Amino acid sequence: MRLKISTPKGGNKVINLSNDATFEDLIAEVKTTFGDISIGKVRYGYPLQTIDIEEQVGNILLMELGISSGERITVESKNSDKNTKHVGQTLPGSCILRNEKQGGPESLPDRISVRPGVLLQVHEVPDDNSCLFHAISYAVYKDMVVSYQFREVVANEILANPIEYSDSILGRPNLQYYEWILKSTSWGGAIEIAILSKYLKIAIFVLDIDAGRFEKFNEDKYSKLMILAFSGIHYDTVEIFHESSKEVETIFKVDDSETDTLLAKAAEVASKMKKAGLSFNTHKGHIKCNSCGVLLVGEREVAHHAESTGHVDFGQAPE
């Protein structure tokens, strides 16, 4: 995996680590790359997560901490900030740190055992208004650095086909939509999923966590599929994790007999996540912006608010 590292003195470099690298490996590589610097904390992700260097997390895999290729890591010196979120705590938003010391796979709502040594789990991507593109990029490349390229693919397809993507379909003038979807603050949805499914020649199954059902794009056209989990306001990637080899699978065969089992297990995970409060009903209830307190109704209002304010921390408002 490739990680972008920023240091207190303004150093910025890309480092390369193996996919089974641990937190300890990350720290060692940072010190090798930047010199023997004093490291106090490591920050990453959206919402922001912080790990204190003194915590006993050295042997935990980066992937289990939610760190994947393309992630931006900020290294801070000691005593730079006393407000540290510890590994194992639930953080704001959709991200849950995976820590096996808390219990087996069944103890976490976003993962489930498929068979001994094989887990189906939700891989969280940054919650930064580009989550759909991040989730698809991770599924295809195990990397999020091509996320913006997927925006360009969508924009160019829409502009080149003004009849298929008419103003009435898009809800705004074709050229205006083209310019809008290129903005990093614009949320993607069904239109973008359908276009990228066709572009990649991969069916995309979107698991609605709140409804507990799949919306399937191009399931009859292609031999491969990916699974995305949708909380109501955020997309993540569903993956299979092999504990012995540390390998991850994100693309599956449509006609494989095991795929039906995976879809059933994914639905079970959705049920667990809903019970844990990790889904949002944007049709019935209000969504609260945790940054400013405003109440919103529907995905469209939430998306517009996120685009206009930059706020990305939302929660289901109590009835």
User: Which is the catalytic residue, given 128, 143, 208, 313?
Assistant: 128
Has 81 been annotated as catalytic? Answer: no
Has 128 been annotated as catalytic? Answer: yes
How far, in whole angstroms, is CA 63 from its chain's centroid? 12
User: Which is the catalytic residue, given 127, 131, 286, 305?
Assistant: 131
User: Which is the catalytic residue, given 25, 143, 304, 311?
Assistant: 311
CB atoms inside a 10 Å sphere around CB 245: 10
How far apart, in whole angstroms, are the C-alpha atoms of residue 40 and residue 26? 14
Has 234 been annotated as catalytic? Answer: yes
Has 311 been annotated as catalytic? Answer: yes
Close Cβ partners of 82 (under 8 Å, ≥ 6 residues apart)? none
User: Which is the catalytic residue, given 123, 234, 286, 305?
Assistant: 234
Length of the chain equals 319
For residue 228 the two structure tokens come to 């995305």
Kindly state the helix (H) or strand (E) to which residue 267 belongs, with its residue range.
helix 257-275
Collect contacts of 159-164 with beta carbons under 8 A, ≥24 apart: none
For residue 185 the two structure tokens come to 């603050």
- Annotated catalytic residues are 128, 131, 234, 311
